[in-house]
Amino acid sequence: MPTLSVDRVHKAYGDTKAVHDVSFSAAPGRILGLLGPNGAGKTSTLRMITHITQPDSGAVRYDERPVGPWSQRRMGYLPEERGLYPDLRVKEQLVYLGQLKGLSADAATERVHHWLERFEALDWVDKKTEELSKGMQQKVQFIATLLHDPQLLIFDEPFSGLDPINSDVLRDIILELRRTDRTILFASHRMEQVEQLCDDICLMANGQVVLKGDLREVKQRFGTNTVIVRFDGSDAFIDDLESEGAVRVHARSAHRAEMRLLNDTPARRVLQAALDTVDELHHFERTEPPLSEIFVEVVGEANAAQAAAS
Protein backbone atom coordinates (compact mmCIF):
# COMPACT_ATOMS: atom_id res chain seq x y z
CA MET A 1 0.00 0.00 0.00
CA PRO A 2 1.51 3.38 -0.97
CA THR A 3 2.57 5.58 1.91
CA LEU A 4 3.31 9.28 1.88
CA SER A 5 6.49 10.25 3.67
CA VAL A 6 7.89 13.67 4.42
CA ASP A 7 11.52 13.26 5.37
CA ARG A 8 13.58 16.02 7.02
CA VAL A 9 12.12 18.71 4.81
CA HIS A 10 13.29 22.35 4.95
CA LYS A 11 11.80 25.33 3.11
CA ALA A 12 12.71 29.00 3.46
CA TYR A 13 11.26 32.06 1.75
CA GLY A 14 14.08 34.62 1.97
CA ASP A 15 14.89 34.90 5.67
CA THR A 16 11.68 33.15 6.78
CA LYS A 17 12.23 29.52 7.72
CA ALA A 18 8.71 28.36 6.88
CA VAL A 19 9.42 24.64 7.32
CA HIS A 20 12.35 23.38 9.35
CA ASP A 21 13.37 19.72 9.50
CA VAL A 22 9.82 18.36 9.22
CA SER A 23 9.23 14.59 9.05
CA PHE A 24 6.03 12.55 9.22
CA SER A 25 4.23 9.90 7.24
CA ALA A 26 0.64 9.16 6.25
CA ALA A 27 -0.76 5.70 5.58
CA PRO A 28 -3.68 4.37 3.49
CA GLY A 29 -6.97 3.95 5.32
CA ARG A 30 -5.98 6.58 7.88
CA ILE A 31 -6.58 10.28 8.25
CA LEU A 32 -3.75 12.55 9.33
CA GLY A 33 -4.55 16.00 10.73
CA LEU A 34 -1.89 18.64 10.18
CA LEU A 35 -2.39 21.23 12.90
CA GLY A 36 -0.73 24.40 14.06
CA PRO A 37 -1.28 28.10 14.64
CA ASN A 38 -1.33 30.65 11.80
CA GLY A 39 2.02 30.75 10.06
CA ALA A 40 3.17 27.38 11.48
CA GLY A 41 4.10 26.07 8.03
CA LYS A 42 1.14 23.81 7.22
CA THR A 43 0.29 25.20 3.78
CA SER A 44 3.98 25.37 2.86
CA THR A 45 4.25 21.67 3.75
CA LEU A 46 1.14 20.74 1.75
CA ARG A 47 2.45 22.64 -1.27
CA MET A 48 5.64 20.58 -1.20
CA ILE A 49 3.66 17.33 -0.87
CA THR A 50 1.60 18.32 -3.91
CA HIS A 51 4.79 19.29 -5.79
CA ILE A 52 3.67 22.88 -6.32
CA THR A 53 6.92 23.93 -4.63
CA GLN A 54 10.06 21.92 -3.89
CA PRO A 55 11.92 21.55 -0.59
CA ASP A 56 15.29 23.30 -0.16
CA SER A 57 16.46 20.02 1.36
CA GLY A 58 14.91 16.75 2.45
CA ALA A 59 12.46 14.69 0.41
CA VAL A 60 8.75 14.04 -0.03
CA ARG A 61 8.02 10.52 -1.28
CA TYR A 62 4.83 8.78 -2.27
CA ASP A 63 4.92 5.04 -2.81
CA GLU A 64 8.69 5.26 -2.14
CA ARG A 65 9.33 7.59 -5.12
CA PRO A 66 10.03 11.32 -4.93
CA VAL A 67 6.81 13.23 -5.67
CA GLY A 68 6.53 14.90 -9.08
CA PRO A 69 4.05 15.35 -11.92
CA TRP A 70 3.41 11.58 -11.82
CA SER A 71 2.15 11.76 -8.22
CA GLN A 72 0.03 14.86 -8.92
CA ARG A 73 -2.14 12.64 -11.15
CA ARG A 74 -2.75 10.33 -8.21
CA MET A 75 -3.58 13.13 -5.75
CA GLY A 76 -6.55 15.34 -5.15
CA TYR A 77 -5.64 18.71 -3.61
CA LEU A 78 -8.10 21.17 -2.15
CA PRO A 79 -6.05 24.36 -1.76
CA GLU A 80 -6.71 27.06 0.81
CA GLU A 81 -7.39 29.63 -1.92
CA ARG A 82 -10.23 28.32 -4.02
CA GLY A 83 -9.93 28.64 -7.77
CA LEU A 84 -13.11 28.23 -9.81
CA TYR A 85 -14.08 30.03 -13.00
CA PRO A 86 -16.81 32.52 -11.99
CA ASP A 87 -18.56 32.55 -15.39
CA LEU A 88 -18.85 28.81 -15.91
CA ARG A 89 -21.87 26.81 -14.84
CA VAL A 90 -21.28 24.16 -12.17
CA LYS A 91 -21.63 21.18 -14.46
CA GLU A 92 -19.52 22.53 -17.35
CA GLN A 93 -16.89 23.65 -14.88
CA LEU A 94 -16.62 20.27 -13.21
CA VAL A 95 -16.73 18.28 -16.45
CA TYR A 96 -13.99 20.54 -17.83
CA LEU A 97 -11.85 20.07 -14.68
CA GLY A 98 -12.44 16.31 -14.86
CA GLN A 99 -11.26 16.28 -18.48
CA LEU A 100 -8.14 18.22 -17.50
CA LYS A 101 -7.43 15.36 -15.12
CA GLY A 102 -7.62 12.83 -17.95
CA LEU A 103 -11.28 11.71 -17.86
CA SER A 104 -13.37 11.35 -21.02
CA ALA A 105 -16.35 13.73 -21.28
CA ASP A 106 -18.76 10.86 -20.58
CA ALA A 107 -16.86 9.57 -17.56
CA ALA A 108 -16.47 13.11 -16.20
CA THR A 109 -20.20 13.80 -16.65
CA GLU A 110 -21.11 10.58 -14.86
CA ARG A 111 -18.82 11.31 -11.92
CA VAL A 112 -19.95 14.92 -11.67
CA HIS A 113 -23.54 13.72 -11.45
CA HIS A 114 -22.61 11.13 -8.81
CA TRP A 115 -20.79 13.62 -6.59
CA LEU A 116 -23.33 16.43 -6.98
CA GLU A 117 -26.00 13.98 -5.85
CA ARG A 118 -23.83 12.79 -2.97
CA PHE A 119 -23.27 16.39 -1.87
CA GLU A 120 -26.99 17.13 -2.20
CA ALA A 121 -26.10 19.74 -4.82
CA LEU A 122 -27.83 18.55 -8.00
CA ASP A 123 -30.12 21.61 -7.94
CA TRP A 124 -27.27 23.93 -8.78
CA VAL A 125 -25.95 22.05 -11.74
CA ASP A 126 -26.77 24.92 -14.14
CA LYS A 127 -25.88 27.81 -11.85
CA LYS A 128 -22.87 29.98 -12.55
CA THR A 129 -20.15 29.78 -9.90
CA GLU A 130 -20.49 33.48 -9.16
CA GLU A 131 -24.14 32.86 -8.21
CA LEU A 132 -23.16 30.31 -5.56
CA SER A 133 -22.61 31.04 -1.88
CA LYS A 134 -19.15 30.51 -0.38
CA GLY A 135 -20.18 27.16 1.11
CA MET A 136 -21.67 25.98 -2.20
CA GLN A 137 -18.46 26.93 -4.02
CA GLN A 138 -16.53 25.02 -1.39
CA LYS A 139 -18.54 21.89 -2.18
CA VAL A 140 -17.99 22.32 -5.93
CA GLN A 141 -14.26 22.70 -5.36
CA PHE A 142 -14.28 19.65 -3.14
CA ILE A 143 -15.97 17.63 -5.91
CA ALA A 144 -13.29 18.84 -8.33
CA THR A 145 -10.59 17.29 -6.10
CA LEU A 146 -12.35 13.89 -6.13
CA LEU A 147 -13.31 13.53 -9.80
CA HIS A 148 -10.27 11.55 -10.96
CA ASP A 149 -10.66 9.15 -8.01
CA PRO A 150 -7.27 9.93 -6.42
CA GLN A 151 -5.58 7.61 -3.91
CA LEU A 152 -4.03 10.46 -1.95
CA LEU A 153 -6.21 13.33 -0.76
CA ILE A 154 -4.86 16.59 0.59
CA PHE A 155 -7.30 19.13 1.97
CA ASP A 156 -6.37 22.58 3.27
CA GLU A 157 -9.10 23.72 5.68
CA PRO A 158 -11.84 21.59 4.06
CA PHE A 159 -14.55 22.71 6.49
CA SER A 160 -14.08 26.44 6.09
CA GLY A 161 -17.30 28.17 5.05
CA LEU A 162 -19.52 25.12 5.64
CA ASP A 163 -22.53 25.20 7.95
CA PRO A 164 -22.94 22.37 10.52
CA ILE A 165 -25.19 20.30 8.22
CA ASN A 166 -22.81 20.50 5.29
CA SER A 167 -19.85 19.90 7.60
CA ASP A 168 -21.52 16.62 8.57
CA VAL A 169 -22.03 15.68 4.90
CA LEU A 170 -18.37 16.39 4.21
CA ARG A 171 -17.24 14.50 7.30
CA ASP A 172 -19.23 11.42 6.20
CA ILE A 173 -17.69 11.58 2.72
CA ILE A 174 -14.17 11.87 4.15
CA LEU A 175 -14.86 8.82 6.34
CA GLU A 176 -16.18 6.92 3.31
CA LEU A 177 -12.97 7.73 1.45
CA ARG A 178 -11.00 6.46 4.43
CA ARG A 179 -12.88 3.15 4.33
CA THR A 180 -11.76 2.66 0.73
CA ASP A 181 -8.11 2.91 1.79
CA ARG A 182 -7.39 6.40 0.55
CA THR A 183 -4.57 8.24 2.27
CA ILE A 184 -6.03 11.46 3.64
CA LEU A 185 -4.19 14.45 5.00
CA PHE A 186 -5.86 17.67 6.02
CA ALA A 187 -4.85 20.94 7.62
CA SER A 188 -7.34 22.44 10.02
CA HIS A 189 -7.84 24.85 12.88
CA ARG A 190 -11.12 23.17 13.85
CA MET A 191 -10.09 20.94 16.73
CA GLU A 192 -13.51 19.32 17.13
CA GLN A 193 -13.38 18.15 13.48
CA VAL A 194 -9.86 16.86 13.99
CA GLU A 195 -10.93 14.92 17.11
CA GLN A 196 -13.84 13.37 15.22
CA LEU A 197 -11.94 12.44 12.08
CA CYS A 198 -8.24 11.89 12.58
CA ASP A 199 -6.37 8.70 13.31
CA ASP A 200 -3.07 10.55 13.52
CA ILE A 201 -2.00 14.13 14.13
CA CYS A 202 1.05 16.18 13.38
CA LEU A 203 1.21 19.49 15.25
CA MET A 204 3.51 22.17 13.86
CA ALA A 205 4.69 25.43 15.44
CA ASN A 206 7.26 27.89 14.07
CA GLY A 207 7.92 25.62 11.08
CA GLN A 208 8.73 22.56 13.19
CA VAL A 209 6.89 19.43 14.29
CA VAL A 210 6.23 19.74 18.03
CA LEU A 211 3.93 16.74 18.54
CA LYS A 212 2.89 13.80 16.36
CA GLY A 213 1.47 10.32 16.50
CA ASP A 214 -1.68 8.28 16.86
CA LEU A 215 -4.31 10.66 18.26
CA ARG A 216 -5.46 8.28 21.01
CA GLU A 217 -1.90 7.61 22.13
CA VAL A 218 -1.07 11.30 22.09
CA LYS A 219 -4.07 12.02 24.31
CA GLN A 220 -3.19 9.18 26.68
CA ARG A 221 0.29 10.65 27.04
CA PHE A 222 -1.28 13.75 28.56
CA GLY A 223 -3.05 11.67 31.21
CA THR A 224 -6.55 11.81 32.63
CA ASN A 225 -6.08 15.20 34.20
CA THR A 226 -9.33 16.76 33.04
CA VAL A 227 -12.70 16.78 34.77
CA ILE A 228 -16.08 17.40 33.13
CA VAL A 229 -19.05 18.32 35.33
CA ARG A 230 -22.69 18.86 34.29
CA PHE A 231 -25.08 20.21 36.87
CA ASP A 232 -28.05 22.41 37.78
CA GLY A 233 -27.75 25.15 40.38
CA SER A 234 -24.98 27.41 41.58
CA ASP A 235 -21.64 27.26 39.78
CA ALA A 236 -19.78 29.07 42.58
CA PHE A 237 -17.74 25.94 43.37
CA ILE A 238 -15.86 26.41 40.10
CA ASP A 239 -14.68 29.91 41.08
CA ASP A 240 -13.68 28.62 44.51
CA LEU A 241 -11.66 25.74 43.05
CA GLU A 242 -10.00 28.05 40.57
CA SER A 243 -9.11 30.71 43.12
CA GLU A 244 -7.50 28.15 45.42
CA GLY A 245 -5.38 26.93 42.46
CA ALA A 246 -6.94 23.45 42.38
CA VAL A 247 -8.09 23.68 38.74
CA ARG A 248 -7.82 25.71 35.56
CA VAL A 249 -11.08 26.09 33.66
CA HIS A 250 -10.91 25.18 29.92
CA ALA A 251 -14.54 25.67 28.99
CA ARG A 252 -17.53 26.80 30.98
CA SER A 253 -21.21 27.48 30.49
CA ALA A 254 -24.09 27.88 32.98
CA HIS A 255 -24.53 24.13 33.50
CA ARG A 256 -21.27 22.55 32.37
CA ALA A 257 -17.59 22.99 33.09
CA GLU A 258 -14.46 21.35 31.79
CA MET A 259 -11.36 21.87 33.92
CA ARG A 260 -7.81 20.73 34.31
CA LEU A 261 -6.69 19.39 37.71
CA LEU A 262 -3.67 21.31 38.98
CA ASN A 263 -1.12 20.68 41.73
CA ASP A 264 -2.07 17.00 42.22
CA THR A 265 -5.62 17.92 43.18
CA PRO A 266 -7.62 14.67 43.35
CA ALA A 267 -10.77 14.50 41.15
CA ARG A 268 -12.62 13.63 44.39
CA ARG A 269 -11.97 17.18 45.64
CA VAL A 270 -13.85 18.62 42.62
CA LEU A 271 -16.66 16.08 43.02
CA GLN A 272 -17.09 16.98 46.69
CA ALA A 273 -17.07 20.73 45.99
CA ALA A 274 -19.74 20.23 43.32
CA LEU A 275 -21.91 18.02 45.56
CA ASP A 276 -21.72 20.62 48.35
CA THR A 277 -22.99 23.43 46.09
CA VAL A 278 -25.10 22.34 43.12
CA ASP A 279 -28.80 21.38 43.19
CA GLU A 280 -28.36 18.38 40.92
CA LEU A 281 -25.25 16.68 39.57
CA HIS A 282 -25.96 15.10 36.17
CA HIS A 283 -22.53 14.01 35.06
CA PHE A 284 -19.02 13.75 36.46
CA GLU A 285 -16.14 12.42 34.40
CA ARG A 286 -12.38 12.26 34.69
CA THR A 287 -10.82 12.11 31.26
CA GLU A 288 -7.99 13.08 28.91
CA PRO A 289 -7.67 16.74 27.89
CA PRO A 290 -9.42 17.90 24.72
CA LEU A 291 -7.14 18.34 21.72
CA SER A 292 -7.67 22.11 21.87
CA GLU A 293 -6.01 22.18 25.32
CA ILE A 294 -3.12 20.00 24.18
CA PHE A 295 -2.69 22.39 21.24
CA VAL A 296 -2.58 25.47 23.49
CA GLU A 297 -0.16 23.84 25.93
CA VAL A 298 2.28 22.41 23.37
CA VAL A 299 2.29 25.49 21.13
CA GLY A 300 2.74 27.70 24.21
CA GLU A 301 5.78 25.66 25.28
CA ALA A 302 7.23 25.78 21.75
CA ASN A 303 6.82 29.57 21.60
CA ALA A 304 8.42 29.98 25.02
CA ALA A 305 11.36 27.77 24.00
CA GLN A 306 11.84 29.80 20.83
CA ALA A 307 11.68 33.11 22.69
CA ALA A 308 14.27 31.83 25.20
CA ALA A 309 16.58 30.70 22.39
CA SER A 310 16.48 34.01 20.49
Supply the DSSP symbol for 190. Answer: -
d(CA 283, CA 300): 31
DSSP SS3 for 249: strand
Residue 140's H or E segment, with its range, is: helix 134-146
**Least CB distance from residue 37 to ligand ATP, whole Å?**
7
Among 292, 77, 66, residue whose Cα is nearest residue 201 = 292
Measured from the Cβ of residue 56, the count of other Cβ atoms closer than 10 Å reads 14
Interface with ligand ATP, residue 18, by CB under 6 A: yes
Interface with ligand ATP, residue 41, by CB under 6 A: yes
Interface pattern 89-128 for ligand ATP (x via CB under 6 A):
----------------------------------------
Instruction: Give me the sign of the Cα torsion angle 226, 228, 229, 235.
Output: positive
DSSP SS3 for 136: helix
Among 193, 185, 207, 197, residue whose Cα is nearest residue 299 = 207
Interface with ligand ATP, residue 234, by CB under 6 A: no
**Least CB distance from residue 156 to ligand ATP, whole Å?**
7
Cβ nearer to ligand ATP, comparing 16 with 57: 16
Interface with ligand ATP, residue 141, by CB under 6 A: no
- Which region among 40-48, 173-181, 236-244, 288-296 touches ligand ATP (by CB under 6 A)? 40-48
- One residue of 40, 132, 174, 238 binding ligand ATP per CB under 6 A: 40
Cβ nearer to ligand ATP, comparing 53 with 99: 53
Interface with ligand ATP, residue 36, by CB under 6 A: yes
Interface with ligand ATP, residue 42, by CB under 6 A: yes
- Which region among 13-21, 81-89, 92-100, 176-184 touches ligand ATP (by CB under 6 A)? 13-21
**Least CB distance from residue 110 to ligand ATP, whole Å?**
35
Residue 182's contacts (CB-CB under 8 Å, 6 or more residues apart) are 28, 29, 150, 151, 152, 153
Name all contacts of 216-223 with Cβ < 8 Å and 24+ positions apart. Answer: 218/294, 219/288, 219/289, 219/291, 219/294, 220/288, 222/288, 222/289, 222/294, 223/288
- Between the CA atoms of 175, 177, 179 and 180, what dihedral angle is there, to the nearest 10 degrees? 180
**Least CB distance from residue 126 to ligand ATP, whole Å?**
34
Interface with ligand ATP, residue 145, by CB under 6 A: no
Interface with ligand ATP, residue 4, by CB under 6 A: no
Buried b vs exposed e over 87-121: b needs ≥16 C-beta within 10 Å?
Answer: ebbbbebbbebbbebebeeebbbebbeebbebbeb
Interface with ligand ATP, residue 70, by CB under 6 A: no
- Which region among 11-19, 66-74, 85-93, 131-139 touches ligand ATP (by CB under 6 A)? 11-19
Interface with ligand ATP, residue 43, by CB under 6 A: yes
Among 71, 54, 50, residue whose Cα is nearest residue 62 = 71
- Which region among 33-41, 81-89, 132-140, 178-186 touches ligand ATP (by CB under 6 A)? 33-41
- One residue of 13, 114, 168, 285 binding ligand ATP per CB under 6 A: 13
Interface with ligand ATP, residue 306, by CB under 6 A: no
Cβ contact 226:259 at 8 Å: yes
Residues that bind ligand ATP (CB under 6 A): 13, 16, 18, 36, 38-44
